Structure 1
Amino acid sequence: MRLHVGCAMWTHTPWQGRFLPHPLPPGERLAAYATWCNAVEGNTTFYATPARASVESWARQTPPGFRFVVKLPKPITHERRLTGADEELRTFLETMEPLGPRIHALWVQLPGSFGPDGLGTLAAFLRRLPGSYRCAVEVRHPAFFADERAARLLERVLAGVGAEWVPFDTVTLFRSPPTTDAERDAWTKKPRVPRRSAALTDRPIVRYLGRDDVDRTVEGWQHWVGTVAGWLREGRSPTVFVHTPDNAEALPLARRFHDAVRALLPQLEPLPEPLPAEPLTLF
């Protein structure tokens, strides 16, 4: 029984010297993060396909059971809207090959304007993907949350290829007015949609966005603690990513979420011991 948890990135300035050793060369930063969490969102691939050498380094720095959920590049999902992007997709998949089974899923994050009328395009795109990859789709169009028929049609498309629907839970963020600059910025950029917590596959993925206040973040994730524990009891293998608007405390919060689930399921495999942020001394 294993729960994977992680953050939106593996290096973040507020973590340096507090949670992770500093300075660290680029070729060691992911390895340090991987002693805290056993999964990470591959957000950087949305903006540019990395060099293959970088991906080879990611593989070297992580154990075989580490999970990457890698986001398809923006030209594929947002600019070409899943059509006519075969060359970009081929290049991306070839670049990601060194990660091998560490790729938990290809993350297809669709723009907010991609609505139910695009489901045929989505279905055709997902069917063209190599069967060796699992897929996870994140939608933001309001119709998928307000219209039951649209939601069922999306679920049918995803079920046809064994893909997961990734919820981005922003309920806690929008529950009360923002109190920090990062929260105010998040209010203008993050989707305001109802919480969805139904798993379609044996590997559900959750993205949870809390607040910059730790206590409010923990209060807001109680729903997910119970839901994830239930999935584990059913034999599913969930992955949960913890975000806050400034992400300053996201790294220890991800471990805290794991601890909360493990309190309900003591048989859950523990996370590794974190690498000390400060070098060990004799005195």
Structure 2
Amino acid sequence: MQIPFPYFTGCPAWSNRNWIGRVFRTGTETSELLREYSRVFNTVEGNTLFYALPPMATVERWMAETAVHFRFAPKFPKVISHERRLQGAGEENKAFFRVLEALADGNKLGLSFLQLPPSFNINHLDTLSAYLKSLPKSFSYAVEPRHISWYDKADNEKRLDDLLETLNIDKAIFDTRPLFASDPDNKDEEEARERKPQMPIRKVGLSNHPVIRFVGKDNPNKNKKYLREWASVINKWILEGKKPYFFAHSGDDDFAPFVARQFNEKLKKINPAVPSLSEFEIDRIKPEQESEQLDLF
């Protein structure tokens, strides 16, 4: 991926060995996965931080192994969001922000996103407000609500949006529509439907870094209409001077890079100034070696 790139795009993780020989170059070693990932994408969801914070030595290694344009998008630890529910997590907050400060000092910090627990509803707005107002103002954030009470198209939703907009915080939009629009095509998609929620879709950018977390299907034809929608919205945000994030998922995320590339090509069709993603390894395969996978694109 070359600079300049007008938006951030990536996947939920970088360490998928099944991408070797398909997305990553053949022969990529485990120790080279992050370096290879940052050759193709310019961000990654920091989902590992949701479960445990890495040692600072690991953070330093991450920064050293990624391209200059690359930005990590850390997820708030679940001990803060799901266990402490944004209260009484002073030490956990300090530890998390030490990681963010290190990434920021290395010019590798992007947006950080706070995923709220499924049971965290509008009745907890005061708790959410107090927590968000306590966050360091020097970083960028997004909040992902996962309870239907935040999406009433009325007072509840307006109160949340007004709070976020006032604090220059974006709303992370989790789009699982392709996953539920048709029957699962494989076991991975079937299991993903059991894990992932169906949330209302709001095409709203409240601050400078709107966030789309998109769960596509392995069959790209079933993603097309949704990706066309988002390409139009994200292009509008880009033209407004925002720099959005688009994170691609799939059933088991083996296909996530291809969803990201499919989206980028949709965006490129309406905005030719958008560069193509860096070459995938399958692009190097000679014509006589092409697989059915390549024919999908």
Is TM > 0.5 for Structure 1 vs Structure 2?
A: yes
Aligned to 2:181: 175
SS of alignment partner, residue 167 of structure 1: strand
| Distance across 2 between alignment mates of 1:240 and 1:49 | 24
Aligned to 1:29: 33
Question: How high is the TM-score relative to the length of structure 1?
Answer: 0.91
Aligned to 1:19: 23
Contact 2:39/2:67 (8 A) holds in 1:
no
2:252 aligns with one of 246, 251, 254: 246
Tell which has more relative contact order, 1 or 2 (C-alpha 8 A, sep 6+): 1
1:214-233 map, 5 Å = 214-233=220-239
What runs of 5+ residues in structure 1 fail to find an aligned partner?
A: 279-283
Q: What is the one-letter code of the residue matched to 2:12? A: A
Q: What is the one-letter code of the residue matched to 1:185? A: E
SS of alignment partner, residue 208 of structure 1: strand
Q: Which moved more, 1:224-233 or 1:265-274?
A: 265-274
How far residue 130 of structure 1 moved from its aligned partner, in angstroms, is 1.1
Any idea what the Cα deviations from partners look like across 1:116-159, whole Å, max 9, x if unmatched? 11111111111111111111100110111235211111112212
Q: Which moved more, 1:198-207 or 1:75-84?
A: 198-207
Structure 1 stretches of 4+ with a deviation exceeding 6 A read 275-278
1:40 aligns with one of 44, 52, 70: 44
2:127 aligns with one of 121, 134, 140: 121
Number of aligned residues:
279
Residue 85 of structure 1 pairs with residue 85 of structure 2: no
1:264 aligns with one of 245, 264, 270: 270
Aligned to 1:4: 8
| Distance across 2 between alignment mates of 1:189 and 1:273 | 32
Contact 1:36/1:275 (8 A) holds in 2:
no
SS of alignment partner, residue 21 of structure 1: coil
Q: Which moved more, 1:266-275 or 1:93-102?
A: 266-275
1:103-182 map, 5 Å = 103-182=109-188
Superposed CA RMSD: 2.1
How far residue 273 of structure 1 moved from its aligned partner, in angstroms, is 4.5
| Distance across 1 between alignment mates of 2:140 and 2:178 | 29
Aligned to 1:94: 98
| Distance across 2 between alignment mates of 1:96 and 1:21 | 30
- Aligned-pair identity in percent equals 35
Q: What is the one-letter code of the residue matched to 2:228? A: Q
2:242 aligns with one of 214, 233, 236: 236
Contact 2:227/2:266 (8 A) holds in 1:
no
| Distance across 2 between alignment mates of 1:256 and 1:221 | 8
How far residue 275 of structure 1 moved from its aligned partner, in angstroms, is 6.9
1:73 aligns with one of 74, 77, 81: 77
| Distance across 1 between alignment mates of 2:86 and 2:24 | 38
- Against the structure 1 CA distance between its residues 147 and 40, is the aligned structure 2 distance closer, same or farther, given a 3 Å change threshold? same
SS of alignment partner, residue 34 of structure 1: helix
Residue 213 of structure 1 pairs with residue 219 of structure 2: yes
How far residue 73 of structure 1 moved from its aligned partner, in angstroms, is 0.6
